[in-house]
Structures are given as C-alpha cells and as structure tokens.
C-alpha cells in the first residue's frame, strides 16, 4: 500500500505545469518570519498588488468580519487585525485566485467547480466562526485552512480526471460519501495530495498540516485544534448544504460519518447544538459566496 501511495504521489511530482503562487505570498511569508518587519514595510509589499489590496479591504469590511469601523488602508488593517491575520488573508485570496483560474477554461462534467468552492467557502466561514466562539484554534488560521482543506480533490480532478471519475462513480453507485469511495478506490487520500502540493508551495506549516490531517486527526499534533475545527465544520457543512456530490437528501440531519472521533469528542457540545446556532452562520456563508464567486 505504501508503495502504491508513493507511486501515486510521484505522478504529482512529475507534473510540469503545476500552478505556482504569486510572488507576493512568498514575500509576505518571508517578512512575517523576519522580526524586523514593520507595519509600513509589510503594507508597502502588499500594496504592490492592488488587486489583492482591493479584495482584502472588501473582505475585512464585510459583515463576515463584523468590525465596527471601516478599514480603508492596508496598514490600518495590519494594525487592527495583526500581521498573522493579514498573511492568512493574502494566502486565502491568492490561492483561491490561482486554483479557481485552473478551471476557467476547462469544462469538466465530473467536477463542478462552483459546487466545490461553495463547500470550501462554507467550511472556511464556519471554521472561523467555530474557532472564535468555541475558543479553539486561531480563527484566521482556521479560515484559510477551511478554504483550502479539500484542494487535493481539485488537483485530482484537474490532473488525474480518470482516477477522480472512478471515485465519483463508486460513491454514486454504492451511495457512499466521497471519502469512503476514495478510500476504496485510490491509494491516497485527497488530504495527502493537498499536503503534497502545499508543501511544494512552501506555505506555512499550519496550513499544510491541517490539510493533511483534516480526515485523520492526530491527538497531540501541533495543529490539533485547527484540524478539529476544520473537520467539524466540514461535517456540518456537508450535512446542511448539498455536499460535493450533490447528494444531500436530508439537509439539517447531521451525518456522523463525516466527523473524526477526536473532533467529535472535543467539540461534541457544538455539534449537538448546531440547529440552535447555525441560523447565525448561514447569512455569513451566503455573504462569502457572493464575495468569492
């Protein structure tokens, strides 16, 4: 099994046209590792990319962030939200653009890219909300991890459509959730594919590790909290909205197959009380869909 896994991932390593991230992401990451970085120097770098600045200000001023005052400049955003939050926003917006662009000129019957993003955005918003309310993990980190948690599926669908189609067909035929069908069909999980790509991009470890463990949580791991949050948010979003395969037949009924046992243990109170608090999150999710899509 390990051999098959290595061989499968090797195919990804051999892809020549893997998308690359804009240089702003690498630069911002470098700057945040440098203790001499100031608010002004960070803002100057981000402001070289006006499209990102525009989107970032739109995002931080949306209802979703719930700030009382309007932010009109990058350095103001950095003061109010902190460097780390700014980094996470820049990574979210840039990777979203790059990954979304992949499917711009490609029509795929087997992969509905809008459905994929609706799911990912839902998980991002709910992850941020849960982290904030339950005080588990960092809300901004959880947002970006939620947004990118399933990027391995997107990569599979794009680069290895035949393998992806086999998983989707198995899920449909045997009425399985995607993850179960994937386990029965491929030697790797989409979480491992996502991890592989994100490591290649040199993105911060909290992202790579959370993506890696969002379906197999390891107690004691450094990013345990973020993984728990993303796993729970993923299970709830899959239960409340049409799932990735659009086969949600009973919205609102929690499907426990989606939750990792460690995540359930940690956040059971929140899982059991979803109907009470979900109505507050739903408008935020719809808002984020309009923002991103």
Contacting positions for Fe ion (CB under 5 A): 150, 234
Angle at 20 between CA 17 and CA 23, to 5 degrees: 150
Q: Closest separation between CB of residue 269 and Fe ion, Å?
A: 22
Cβ-based nearer residue to Fe ion, 78 or 281: 281
Distance CA 263, CA 61 (A): 31
Least distance CB 44 / Fe ion (angstroms):
36
Candidates 105, 83, 98; CA nearest to 39 is 83
CB 139, min distance to Fe ion, A: 19
Cβ neighbours of residue 243 under 8 Å, at least 6 residues apart? 119, 177, 178
Question: Minimal distance in Å, beta carbon 210 to Fe ion?
Answer: 11
Nearer to Fe ion, 84 or 180 (CB): 180
Residue (122 or 139) nearer to Fe ion, CB? 122
Cα(267)–Cα(232) distance, rounded to whole angstroms?
Answer: 8
Residue number, 150 or 226, with CB nearest to Fe ion:
150
State the nearest-atom distance from the C-beta of 110 to Fe ion, in Å: 17
Taking residue 117's Cβ as centre, other Cβ atoms within 10 Å add up to 21
Separation of alpha carbons 207 and 147, rounded Å? 10
- In the numeric block, which tokens belong to residue 141? 């980190």
Closest by CA position to 266, among listed 137, 98, 86:
137
Q: Which is nearer to Fe ion, 49 or 234 (CB)?
A: 234
- Compute the least distance from the CB of residue 54 to Fe ion, in Å: 28
Cβ 255 vs Cβ 237: under 8 Å: no
Identify whether the C-beta of residue 19 lies closer than 8 Å to the C-beta of residue 85.
no
C-beta of 108: minimal distance to Fe ion in Å? 18
Nearer to Fe ion, 140 or 234 (CB): 234
Residue 136 and residue 154: Cα distance in Å, rounded?
Answer: 28
Q: Name the residue nearer to Fe ion (CB basis): 32 or 177.
A: 177
């Amino acid at each position: 099994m390990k051999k098959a896994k290595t061989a499968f991932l090797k195919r990804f390593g051999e892809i020549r046209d893997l998308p690359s991230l804009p240089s702003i992401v690498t630069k911002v990451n470098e700057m945040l590792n440098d203790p001499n970085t100031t608010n002004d120097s960070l803002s100057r770098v981000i402001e070289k990319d006006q499209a990102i600045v525009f989107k970032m200000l739109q995002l931080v001023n949306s209802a979703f962030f719930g700030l009382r005052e309007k932010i009109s400049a990058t350095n103001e955003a950095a003061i109010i939200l902190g460097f780390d939050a700014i980094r996470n926003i820049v990574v979210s917006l840039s990777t979203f653009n790059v990954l979304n662009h992949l499917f711009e000129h490609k029509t795929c019957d087997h992969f509905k890219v809008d459905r994929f993003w609706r799911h990912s955005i839902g998980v991002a918003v709910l992850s941020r909300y849960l982290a904030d309310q339950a005080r588990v993990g960092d809300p901004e980190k959880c947002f970006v991890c939620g947004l990118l948690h399933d990027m391995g599926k997107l990569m599979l669908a794009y680069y290895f459509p035949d393998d992806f189609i086999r998983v989707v067909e198995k899920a449909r035929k045997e009425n399985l959730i995607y993850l179960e069908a994937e386990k029965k069909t491929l030697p790797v999980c989409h979480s491992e594919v996502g991890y592989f790509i994100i490591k290649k991009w040199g993105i911060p470890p909290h992202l790579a590790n959370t993506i890696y463990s969002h379906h197999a949580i390891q107690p004691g791991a450094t990013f345990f909290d973020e993984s728990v949050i993303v796993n729970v948010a993923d299970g709830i979003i899959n239960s409340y909205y049409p799932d990735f395969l659009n086969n949600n037949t009973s919205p609102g009924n929690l499907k426990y197959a989606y939750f990792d046992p460690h995540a359930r243990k940690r956040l059971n109170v929140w899982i059991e009380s979803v109907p009470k608090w979900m109505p507050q999150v739903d408008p935020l999710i719809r808002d984020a869909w309009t923002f991103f899509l």
